């Protein structure tokens, strides 16, 4: 894993190498082992690279790297897991270079020369963000992996086109303007992240997954085209689904996932895995252990609050599989100590509170390994979130009730305090079936009350994935911008709302929240994370599976669980889904109260001029009183406020 940065300027800058070096220095955490800067002054192009050595630890892997033919110069962040196979193909056809080392970067350059950039990217299995200067065509090419595992920002600032892995590197350039985009604040308040293609800054964007950007010398407008389309994969898979039986599907899934895990275990440095004890991380670790002659290194985080603690389950799975397991139990102070670091780690406001334990498990793992595999992607691909299988069922039950009646029921449910709902659930849970047991009942019931007032299944989804429902009423001089979530023309052509939700989660929640959270947390401590479930062959097969192989008998990830049961007893896995959360609600009434009050102070909010203070103060006071739990809404605002304070 590495960090990349660069710029393309029509202005003459005398100290371009020095500016490039200062930008690279800001990415030292992403690549502490080596760094380099390449310039082409006559064309105003600068490429910079910070290297974390994973494969080919020698100087032969140094970047920026030039192709043997002299046409391409590349900076590359990521891993191409099938690059040795690509080398063999190049050797067979006589297109291979005289190899200097065994890095995947050198393989890419040779493939670009033989096949061109787009075809090469289509042949690659991996995660990456890269920039290439084509000296023949005098054009800059940026590209990002299919699902968005690796970040890449870009944009014009005056006469300079900036690009890089993280915003902190772009901010170093003297042309960087840093004007806050108020519309992006609306996105943050609605979805707790700033959705692609936007960033917190005007005219700085995120390159969307599966895309290539080409900017020709002397032109200002880049062209952006997909080299791989998840939308096409989804629609094709649903129209021509897998035709085998369940056993066939299990064998096929086992094959593609085993291959992905095997390829992603290739490393010249120590390797391990995050293990929560849930379905996704457990299947990854199980497949790793079957392919390893030594115990796999596994890592988990524990909490003293039982509603948030999965460590006991992770330990049981680790003992059964025989891994070398390390766990760390956190107290409140461990987590609170991370909060001041968040603006630096995430670079722009980011309000998924599981960022706290994600950073701590990454920090712990880094003490033992340099690479960690994760189970991310399983929920989106196999229907693991409650909304994937409950939303349709709920809609079919409520759609016959008049909207006015549903609104009355919703308001009545909202009148009961969080403590009241939790007490009621505690009383009745003993008579409920195990499938109906869940953590944090008040949160689930509030969501149910919220969605009773929607008038379409599509509106139900937007409600479920939104915190502040009308953020443009809260943010001064802002409007709601178009994203894949609120622009139905960008949705896949699917008839089932559950599948549509899975698709939207894959193209939005997964890259903008989950993968961003893990990449920034892990790379802040120089730990590379890999995601076997996001191998494009796994993704393509998952979307060919009939829906009833993913969701069956009111249970999500059904087929994935059948595969896991071949390796781990059902008794160790079957339990309510927990997630990777922290008790922000109680902290805001306790150890975080003074910190939050300072950031949410009415005069401060009014002076800064971004927010209308009244609705924020109302939610803050309601939360403190215990009448309502507004932890998600408040955390969104607090993360912006803390980021703003750090600037």
Query: pLDDT tens digit string along 559-570?
Result: 999 999 999 999
Beta carbons of 311 and 301 less than 8 angstroms apart: yes
Residue with structure tokens 């001029």? 609
Q: What domains are defined for the chain?
A: 2-228 (3.60.20.10), 231-382+501-572 (3.40.50.620), 583-647 (no CATH)
In sequence order, what are the beta bridge partners of 50? 3, 35
| 546-555: pLDDT as tens digits | 999 999 988 9
Beta carbons of 149 and 519 less than 8 angstroms apart: yes
Q: For position 432, what pLDDT does the model report?
A: 47
pTM metric for this prediction: 0.94
Q: Residue 134: pLDDT above 60?
A: yes
| 8-64: pLDDT as tens digits | 987 777 788 999 999 999 999 999 888 999 999 888 899 999 988 776 666 677 899
Q: How confident is the model at residue 437 (pLDDT cuts 50, 70, 90)?
A: low
- Region 112-117: mean pLDDT is 96
Q: For position 439, what pLDDT does the model report?
A: 59
Written as six digits, the tokens of 387 are 């909304």
CA separation for the pair 146, 515 (Å, rounded): 12
Minimum mean pLDDT range among 62-66, 189-193, 256-260, 283-287: 62-66
Written as six digits, the tokens of 440 are 């944090």
Q: Residue 614: pLDDT above 80?
A: yes
Burial class (CB in 10 A: 0-12, 13-18, 19+), 488: exposed
Beta carbons of 140 and 161 less than 8 angstroms apart: yes
Burial class (CB in 10 A: 0-12, 13-18, 19+), 509: buried
Q: For position 55, what pLDDT does the model report?
A: 66
> How long is the chain?
647
Beta carbons of 637 and 600 less than 8 angstroms apart: yes
Beta carbons of 198 and 206 less than 8 angstroms apart: yes
Helix (H) or strand (E) holding 4: strand 2-9
Q: For position 373, what pLDDT does the model report?
A: 98
Q: Are strands 528-530 and 371-373 parallel, antiparallel or unpaired?
A: parallel
Measured at the CA of 550, the angle between CA 547 and CA 552, to 5 degrees, comes to 90
Q: Is the peptide bond before 197 cis (omega within 30 degrees of 0)?
A: yes
Q: For position 441, what pLDDT does the model report?
A: 64
Torsion of CA 361, 365, 371, 376, to 10 degrees: -20
DSSP-derived secondary structure letter, 206: E
Q: Residue 642: pLDDT above 60?
A: yes
With a CB cutoff of 8 Å and minimum separation 6, the contacts of 113 are 67, 68, 69, 71, 72, 95, 97
With a CB cutoff of 8 Å and minimum separation 6, the contacts of 354 are 517, 579, 580, 581, 582
Mean pLDDT (the chain, rounded): 92
């Amino acid at each position: 894993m590495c960090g990349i940065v660069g710029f393309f300027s029509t202005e003459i800058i005398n100290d371009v190498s020095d500016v490039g070096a200062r930008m690279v220095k800001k990415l030292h955490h992403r690549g502490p082992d080596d760094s380099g800067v390449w310039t082409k002054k006559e064309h105003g192009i600068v490429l910079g690279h910070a290297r974390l050595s994973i494969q080919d630890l020698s100087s032969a892997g140094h970047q920026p790297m030039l192709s043997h033919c002299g046409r391409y110069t590349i900076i590359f962040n990521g891993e191409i897991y099938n690059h040795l196979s690509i080398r063999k193909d190049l050797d067979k056809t006589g297109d291979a270079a005289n190899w200097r080392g065994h890095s995947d970067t050198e393989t890419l350059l040779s493939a670009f020369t033989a096949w061109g950039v787009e075809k090469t990217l289509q042949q690659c299995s991996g995660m990456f963000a890269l920039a290439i200067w084509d000296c023949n065509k005098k054009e800059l090419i940026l590209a990002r992996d299919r699902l968005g595992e690796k970040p890449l920002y870009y944009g014009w600032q005056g006469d300079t086109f900036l690009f890089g892995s993280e915003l902190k590197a772009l901010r170093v350039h003297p042309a960087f303007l840093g004007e806050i985009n108020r519309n992006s604040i609306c996105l943050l308040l609605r979805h707790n992240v700033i959705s692609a293609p936007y960033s917190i800054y005007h005219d700085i964007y995120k390159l969307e997954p599966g895309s290539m950007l080409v900017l020709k010398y002397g032109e200002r407008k880049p062209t952006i085209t997909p080299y791989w389309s998840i939308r096409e994969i989804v629609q094709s898979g649903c129209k021509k689904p897998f035709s085998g039986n369940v056993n066939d599907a299990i064998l096929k899934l086992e094959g593609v996932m085993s291959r992905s895990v095997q390829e992603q275990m290739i490393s010249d440095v120590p390797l391990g895995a995050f293990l929560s004890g849930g379905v996704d991380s457990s299947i990854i670790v199980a497949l790793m252990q079957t392919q390893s002659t030594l115990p796999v290194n596994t890592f988990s985080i524990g909490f003293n609050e039982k509603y948030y603690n999965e460590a006991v389950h992770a330990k049981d799975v680790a003992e059964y599989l025989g891994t070398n397991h390390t766990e760390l139990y956190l107290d409140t102070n461990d987590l609170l100590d991370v909060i001041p670091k968040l603006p630096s780690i995430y670079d722009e406001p980011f309000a998924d509170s599981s960022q706290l334990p994600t950073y701590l498990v990454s920090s712990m793992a880094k003490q033992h390994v340099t690479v960690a595999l994760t189970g991310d992607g399983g929920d989106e691909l196999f229907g693991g979130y409650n909304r994937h299988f409950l939303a349709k069922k709920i809609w079919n039950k409520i759609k016959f009730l008049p909207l006015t009646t549903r609104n009355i029921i919703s308001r009545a449910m909202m009148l009961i305090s969080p403590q009241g709902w939790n007490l009621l659930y505690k009383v009745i849970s003993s008579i409920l079936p195990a499938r109906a047991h869940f953590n944090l009942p008040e949160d689930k019931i509030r969501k149910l009350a919220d969605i009773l007032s929607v008038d379409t299944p599509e509106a139900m989804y937007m409600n479920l994935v939104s915190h502040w429902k009308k953020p443009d009423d809260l943010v001064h001089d802002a409007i709601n911008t178009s994203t894949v979530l609120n622009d139905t023309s960008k949705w896949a052509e699917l008839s089932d709302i559950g599948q549509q939700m899975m698709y939207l989660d894959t193209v939005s929640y997964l890259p903008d929240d989950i993968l961003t959270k893990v990449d920034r947390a892990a790379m802040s401590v120089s730990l590379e994370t890999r995601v076997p479930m996001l191998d494009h062959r796994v993704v393509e097969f998952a979307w060919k599976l009939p829906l009833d192989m993913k969701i069956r008998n009111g249970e999500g990830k059904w087929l994935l669980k059948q595969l896991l049961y071949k390796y781990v007893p059902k008794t160790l896995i079957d339990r309510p889904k927990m997630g990777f959360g922290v008790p922000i609600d109680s902290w805001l009434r306790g150890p975080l109260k003074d910190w939050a009050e300072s950031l949410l102070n009415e005069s401060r909010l009014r002076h800064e001029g971004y927010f209308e203070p009244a609705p924020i103060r109302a939610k803050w006071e309601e939360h403190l009183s215990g009448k309502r739990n507004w932890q998600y809404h408040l955390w969104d605002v607090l993360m912006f406020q803390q980021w703003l304070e750090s600037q």
